[in-house]
């Protein structure tokens, strides 16, 4: 089959790790007889420098005309001037908004051979396999009013947590569809006891849950969940939550895996069934302090390519092949510096990518 993939490597280590993810996709195309047409575009600081905009209309059009977007990372100290309005991360915001990428999926797996890299005890993280589904387009980050003003008593500011039943229903459906293909459990996380928007969230989540009789949907308060995530992570299958809670929990969940360099993500504009346009990126940033040294871990980017195959191209076997190859490379004891353990073999970014390709083609 033939697919168009937009590749936006971005800044810092973005281009280094994206290169390895693209290599894995090329290997998949060769092994399974597909044809992937990759078209590159600039994003973030690289686009600001070369084109005066973090994401030009042309690059946006390229993404809209593609089957999927492979994204690296954007940002870095060079573009951190607070006096300048145009910022690298606006590339991501524009893509999310224009393409309505409302569903952010972050799978978190604790690889058994890396459990000592987690700050949590191995017996706690071992066996963790969760997908956190974060609502990405609404809630506290976008609700109006959102402003700051002066009063006679001093300065004030307000943000608004605003959700419609439509926004809640569509993200809970994403979680239920995912659970259907996994262990059939969804935990919906809210602050039902304190927030009116959470009461609507819980009501709508319950209604949607009733449409999925094969899925067990339960509810948990955000404060309880934040503790359970690090004390009893194996209890969770799919977790669905709003934008601000999801922002916090997805980062908290990174401690289960042990390194930022291992976690992929997908942002989708529809259900994770069939072929849905999506943006695929490692959860980490541009890591400017290690950029250009060839030491960044490319596995998060490579695992993002697996998600791209699964959710945008509907190629499950091919996605699984990448995930198996990553697992096999880790089992063979090869490690980038961020996941180095005693007795393992240190490799760089490119070597790690080569090893994954080798396993894919063997």
CB atoms within 10 A of CB 193: 10
What is the rounded distance in angstroms from the CA atom of residue 317 to the CA atom of residue 243? 31
Does 285 sit near ligand NAD (CB under 6 A)? yes
- Rule CB under 6 A: say whether 9 interacts with ligand NAD: no
Active site residue 247: yes
Residue whose CB is less far from ligand NAD, 62 or 91: 91
Q: Which of 49, 80, 165, 251 is catalytic?
A: 251
Name the residue among 99, 117, 134 with its Cα closest to residue 283. 134
- Catalytic residue flag (residue 100): no
Instruction: Burial-class residue 2 by CB neighbours within 10 Å (0-12, 13-18, 19+).
Output: exposed
Shortest CB 265 distance to ligand NAD, Å? 9
Q: Looking at 55, 338, 347, 360, which residue binds ligand NAD (CB under 6 A)?
A: 338
**Mask of contacts with ligand NAD, 97-126, x by CB under 6 A?**
------------------------------
Give yes or no: 11 in active site. Answer: no
Closer Cβ to ligand NAD, 72 or 209, answer by number: 72
- 322 by Cβ neighbours in 10 Å (0-12 / 13-18 / 19+) ranks as buried
Can you say whether residue 217 is alpha, beta or left, with left for phi > 0 and alpha for psi between -120 and 50 degrees?
Answer: beta
Q: Does 135 bind ligand NAD (CB under 6 A)?
A: no
Q: Which two tokens stand for residue 217?
A: 């949907």
Q: How far is the CB of 83 from ligand NAD (least distance, A)?
A: 17
Give me the residue whose beta carbon is nearest to ligand NAD.
285
User: What is the bridge-based pairing of β-strands 129-135 and 345-346?
Assistant: unpaired
Nearer to ligand NAD, 201 or 280 (CB): 280
Window 264 to 283, contacts with ligand NAD (CB under 6 A): 281
With tokens 């978190």, the residue in question is 108
CB-based burial label for 19 (10 Å; 0-12, 13-18, 19+): middle
CA angle 11, 16, 21 (to 5 degrees): 115
Q: Rule CB under 6 A: choose which of 6, 28, 55, 73 binds ligand NAD.
A: 73
Annotation says 141 is catalytic: yes
In the complex, the residues that contact ligand NAD under the rule CB under 6 A are 13, 17, 73-76, 92, 260-261, 281, 284-290, 296-297, 300, 338
């Amino acid at each position: 089959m033939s697919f168009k993939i937009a590749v936006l490597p971005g800044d810092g280590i973005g281009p280094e790790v994206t290169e390895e993810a693209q290599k894995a996709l090329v290997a998949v195309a060769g092994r399974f007889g597909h044809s992937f047409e990759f078209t590159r575009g600039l994003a973030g600081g690289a686009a600001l420098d070369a084109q005066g905009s973090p994401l030009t209309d042309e690059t946006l059009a390229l993404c809209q005309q593609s089957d999927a977007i492979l994204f690296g990372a954007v940002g870095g100290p060079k573009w951190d001037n607070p006096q300048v309005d145009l910022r690298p991360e606006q590339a991501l915001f524009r893509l999310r908004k224009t393409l309505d990428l409302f569903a952010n999926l972050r799978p978190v797996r604790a690889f058994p051979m890396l459990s000592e890299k987690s700050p949590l005890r191995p017996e706690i993280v071992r066996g963790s396999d969760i997908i956190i589904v974060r609502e990405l387009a609404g809630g506290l980050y976008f609700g109006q009013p959102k402003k700051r003003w002066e009063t006679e008593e001093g300065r004030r500011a307000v943000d608004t947590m605003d959700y419609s039943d439509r926004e809640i229903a569509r993200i809970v459906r994403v979680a239920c569809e995912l659970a259907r293909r996994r262990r059939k459990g969804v935990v919906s996380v809210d602050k039902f006891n304190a927030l009116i928007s959470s009461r609507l969230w819980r009501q709508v989540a319950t209604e949607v849950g009733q449409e999925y009789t094969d899925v067990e949907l339960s509810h948990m308060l955000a404060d309880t969940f934040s503790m359970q995530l690090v004390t009893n992570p194996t209890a969770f299958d799919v977790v669905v939550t709003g934008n601000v809670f999801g922002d916090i929990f997805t980062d908290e969940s990174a401690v289960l895996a042990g390194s930022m360099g291992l976690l992929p993500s997908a942002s989708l504009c529809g259900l994770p069934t069939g072929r849905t346009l999506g943006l695929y990126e490692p959860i980490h940033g541009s890591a400017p302090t290690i950029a250009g040294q060839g030491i960044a871990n490319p596995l998060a980017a490579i695992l993002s390519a697996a998600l791209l195959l699964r959710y945008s191209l509907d190629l499950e076997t091919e996605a699984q092949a990448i995930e198996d190859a990553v697992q096999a490379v880790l089992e063979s004891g090869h490690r980038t510096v961020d996941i180095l353990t005693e007795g393992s073999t240190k490799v760089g970014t490119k070597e790690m990518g080569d090893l994954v390709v080798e396993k894919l083609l063997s």
